[in-house]
Structure 1
């Protein structure tokens, strides 16, 4: 039986790795007529495509969803849906908030945020709390909100609107729901008010920097991207680290002792970003399969990270392995500029968890995955901990 794959299928989304294994072995170039895309799964092919921005263009956006996939994607997704030279200019502007020095200086502040939210979570119901809602969402959202300049009193509301704006229809099409559209409009209105405040009274934050260089219609989609990419991906990384260390108790002691290795193997094993879409600009042939110019390409990062040609015994969660060739943050011109910050946030948060929690259990029946775009993560992760 031929392998079948759809990134919009909720059943596949629950556990996609058996399908990825078949794609890697049987269909390294996979064409879906129903969903209108071509998927690449092998590490060598995905890595090469990520580096080749001329043939694999970002001009239609990184998401398969329709919309925002298409020539209007930059209006919704800013520089992540652009090629040079505009991408280069906007990325350089935003990267001023993510310099190595600035990220390193954030560690004590991130640790304080993690400790505060963890202390609040541990006070709930005798150590029973939702790991995602009560901890994993809150830490990265606070960090990126402070970088942007979102006041503390607004953050819970911004988080709720941001989550709702990403909700898809439950019909397998990947389309944004009406609830998502309404929340997106409300969040855009909030961003417009915050921009107006910064234009009147600049502050020491990234939004004030953007206000110096760009108009409102350029800033608003950029804020959507920064909030989503800067919080949702780290939330999902933390949820996966917590879950897979629980599912693999033989790795728990090492995870607690080396949060850096815990982060890196989790990024390889179950990355927050499943894949990235690209527009093919010329006819090519891969593995004997012709692919026409104009094709919607789906670069399956999560499958490439399980390619046995690169990672021996790829389905084993092993914190001792060499993860240096994983591509969880993309590659080429669009390599994630927040990768260092995301790694730092996750490492610090997991260190604080290891210091405060002697042991824990997850209720698998209550664990629920989100079904949002090109990311994979948990919406809920009920946990009971034994504090130290």
Structure 2
């Protein structure tokens, strides 16, 4: 049976604001009625069931990354690897670059970064909570969740503290979209150019004078005489800004929002901070920041008795897979401490499994632990919360909260 045409009355449009507000009813209907969905107008297919999404992530031959992983037309094409590094490559180029980058971006480097992440967290929290004492409401994203991840990346890369606000501003500019814009706006392109020019100067400086940072480690990484070029280092730095910054900001805000919505689940967290990683994992499952990833069909692909033509775009929907009742019991319930394990697909799977997964988890754990050391409770002003409008990332641009400081 060909399910691709079954949803005559439901349209999956990743640019639709109603979809951004709550994609999960759309996903459920896709899983039930059209596990292989086709949108002819926007030119993509979509897979929504857990096992199909997981198989899609693991199939890096027929489902190619080399034109990028975004549906946005300006982000797609053979140039995608310039800003998305090895995420927009297939093997053997992907394996070579990822292996070289892994020489610098090591679990040990992330572990050693934790005390500094704690310091950065405390400084942003202190400022936010001081503001909270003086006013009714603070913007959790603007004053905390939106600042910390980019500062951590800047710390890792070796960006001087004096430049970090500017770098963060450019990073925000790269990601911003107005309603109805289905492509990369001019302001985002300008921000991207500013960021690349800044990083180019930084790379050149580290070539002359290496330091104790990831930028230097990437320039020094070597396997059998093979090294990263300046452009490859730049591509990875840009990937960190897009993939590492944005998604962690959204994770921190999504955790706060769903914690607020489920106070019974947070009660135990206030008493035992060791439960914070469980809160993070359930947030990653329940409302992952990375909702949609694109692939391009390379070769023969037949699913649900339908042959998808070579060159067509297939969207993998991890946001849907994590809510699939075929795999998770009572998936629409936010339950801190549920058994998730390797079934989580928020970081992908297979050859392209997210290299920064351990950094994101560490950052979220540190950020939420330090927050909870300082507060007795908080509430989100939902009527003034503003969602991010993006074709692939889910989270908040603004999340006003009131807090009870300990």
TM-score by length of 1: 0.96
Could you tell me which residue of structure 2 aligns to residue 72 of structure 1? Answer: 79
CA contact (8 A) 1:169 1:176 kept: no
Among 90, 101, 111, the alignment partner of 2:97 is: 90
Among 157, 163, 168, the alignment partner of 2:166 is: 157
Shift of 1:125: 4.3
**Larger deviation: 88-97 or 282-291?**
282-291
Could you tell me which residue of structure 1 aligns to residue 255 of structure 2? Answer: 241
Shift of 1:373: 4.1
Local SS of the residue matching 1:123:
helix
Q: Residue 6 in 1 paired to residue 13 in 2?
A: yes
CA contact (8 A) 1:255 1:319 kept: no
Could you tell me which residue of structure 1 aligns to residue 4 of structure 2? Answer: none
Could you tell me which residue of structure 2 aligns to residue 308 of structure 1? Answer: 325
Could you tell me which residue of structure 1 aligns to residue 223 of structure 2? Answer: none
Q: Residue 142 in 1 paired to residue 146 in 2?
A: no
Could you tell me which residue of structure 1 aligns to residue 107 of structure 2? Answer: 100
Q: 1 CA distance for matches of 2:210 and 2:114? A: 25
Shift of 1:343: 0.3
**Matched ranges for 1:1-388 at <5 A:** 2-126=9-133, 128-173=137-182, 175-212=183-220, 213-256=227-270, 257=272, 258-324=275-341, 325-388=343-406
Q: 2 CA distance for matches of 1:169 and 1:66? A: 16
Shift of 1:130: 0.9
Shift of 1:188: 1.5
Long gaps (5+) in structure 1: none
Q: 1 CA distance for matches of 2:117 and 2:217? A: 22
**Larger deviation: 151-160 or 190-199?**
190-199
Q: 2 CA distance for matches of 1:33 and 1:255? A: 46
Shift of 1:229: 1.7
**Larger deviation: 90-99 or 376-385?**
90-99
Could you tell me which residue of structure 1 aligns to residue 224 of structure 2? Answer: none
Q: 1 CA distance for matches of 2:103 and 2:153? A: 14
Q: 1 CA distance for matches of 2:213 and 2:114? A: 17
Local SS of the residue matching 2:358:
helix
Q: 2 CA distance for matches of 1:149 and 1:195? A: 10
Local SS of the residue matching 2:85:
helix
Over the aligned positions, Cα root-mean-square deviation in angstroms equals: 1.5
CA contact (8 A) 2:63 2:297 kept: yes
CA contact (8 A) 1:278 1:296 kept: yes
Long gaps (5+) in structure 2: 1-7, 221-226
Tell me the matched-pair count.
387
Q: 1 CA distance for matches of 2:10 and 2:302? A: 21
Q: 2 CA distance for matches of 1:172 and 1:11? A: 15
CA contact (8 A) 1:255 1:261 kept: no
Q: 2 CA distance for matches of 1:332 and 1:357? A: 39
